[in-house]
Every structure is written in C-alpha cells, then in structure tokens.
Structure 1
Amino acid sequence: MTRDSTAAFAAFYRAEHGRLLRYFRTRVGRDEAPDLVQETFARLLRSGAFERMDNPQAYLTRSARNLLIDRARQQQQSQALIFPFDEGCDAPVYPEQTWRIEEADLRRAYGRALRAMSRRTRRVFMMHRMRRMTYMEIAKQLGIGDKGVQHHVSLALARIRRALAGWSVAG
C-alpha cells in the first residue's frame, strides 16, 4: 500500500467506523460490535481491492453482512451436539427377557403340537429327533417299514410346521 492509499483508507475508516459500529450494535450487542467492526475493516484491507473500488461503502456493508452470516454458522455448528459412538458401551442390548418368554411360548406350542399327534407318530418322531435313531433302526424296533417311518416323520413335521407357522426367529 502506498502512502496515499494508506491515508485514503484511514480517512475511510474514520468516516465509516461509526456507521458500521451502529450496524453491529443493533445485531450483536455492545460487547461484540467493536471486534466485528475491526474484523470487517481488516477483511477489506486484506482484500487489497480498496484502491480499485468504485463504492467501498457497499463493499464494507456486504463484508459486514457476510461476517454476521459466518458468525451465525460457526455458532450453529458449535451448538451441535455430537455423541461419539462407543462400540463397547453403546452396542445394542438384545432383549434377553423377551427371548426367554418367547422361548417358553414356543416350547408350549411345540408341546401342544406333539401331544396332538397320534401315539405312534409322536413315538417315531421322538425316536428320530431326540434319540437320533435312523429310519432303519426305528423300523426294526417298531416292526414297521422304512416308508412307514418316513410317513410318520413327515406327518409330525407338517403338524409342527402348522403349529409354529406364526413364529419367527428374533434377532
């Protein structure tokens, strides 16, 4: 900056300081207004365009308005609440009590389905599923054919499927 431009800027500063101070006081209050006035003039000086401007008052007013917008954005960002996610503390807790209740309900429905089967179908199914016996072993023990074992197991599975049709696995 030359000596003439420094003198011109100083004169401009003295002429516009009061107007800009009133502008900021009405918008942010008495305490913060002087700092914002200084920042606005500093922006104008840093731009290096003061000497080439046709209307520096309009530039100053626009710069003051932009400074208020920037300040509002910063305040809005600083007020945002950020809660860090901690895997150990914030991991979802599954409803174990609900699962136990559902398990008990499921077991009751399963038991009702078993009790509703004929005695032979229930016996074949239990031998196959609980004792882990093969169809051949069941057929030998009960004196029926493999096809008979398959028939009883498929009947039992169909009945259980119907009884538990409304259930789904939670999780």
Structure 2
Amino acid sequence: MSPSIPRRMIADEPLGQAFREERSSLMHFLRRQAGPDAAPDLLQEVFARALRSPEAGRLANPGAFLRRIAGNLLIDRARRAKAGVVIVPLDDARDAPCAAEQGLALEAAQLLASYENAVRQMPAKTRQVFLMQRVDGHTYREIHERLGISVATVEYHMMKALSALAKALESSR
C-alpha cells in the first residue's frame, strides 16, 4: 500500500481507483494554477474533502468529482485572496507572504474574476443550467426535469458553458 493513499480510501474502491488514476493530473493542474509549493497541500485537501463527502460512496464519476473539488478549492483560494484575508501571527511577522506568494494570490484573484465574468456573460439558460449543475450539484436528469428541457439540451448548454469558461480562462493567462 502506498503511504500517500489513506487507508479508508483503499477500502472505498471507486474513490481509491479515481485517486490512483487522477493523482498526477490533479497535481499537474494544481501546480499550474496555484504553484508548486501550494499544490501538494491542495491535493491533500482535495482527497480529504472527497473522503468527508457524504456522496463519496455513490459517485457515478469519481474522477470528475475529484476534479470539481480541486476547481472549487482554487476558487475558494482565489476568493480568500481577493478578500485580502491574510492571517499573520503576531510573533511570526517575519513569515509574511513573500512577493511570489502575493503574485500567486493576484493571479488567483484574476482567474476568479475571469471565471465570474465568463459566467455573467453566458446566455441566461446556459448560465442557469451551468449553475444548477456546478454550484447546486444537480444531475443532468434533475435539470432536465426541473427546466422541462431534454437531457441532450442540458448537455448542449453545459458544453457551451464549459467552452466559454475555457476560452475566458485561456485568454486570462
């Protein structure tokens, strides 16, 4: 057994398998987005949140679940950076963020702003479908039932939304 895989995750086979399959790509993604120093901690938090999730045993696509958690962590991190929340212990003022960390915080804030702007610019129905799926956690079938549109139309709106986000985030780099 690898020391980097928690024991409970080994027992939870779909999530354990997803961990083994997605670990390196998630690490690469987190390094690119948050930097090499923060990536290992963020990866650990991804799997800790996955294990704590009440949905962990009922996942249809555990890999997508892990990727969503990673994206949400980056968004949370960018929001904290945008809010300017910095906790500096009084005794350790010398450990204040260095210029590189501040640069990453600025980059994360810019990434979040690009993301939020892209969501705002989506057509209303596309934005509604996207937010229902990504923020509220509804399945395509649930969205289809609530909005009275076909599952194929839900898929179409999700593809449009994800394409718009990819373009916006790519142009922000």
TM-score, length of structure 2 as denominator length: 0.41
* Rg comparison, structure with higher value: 1
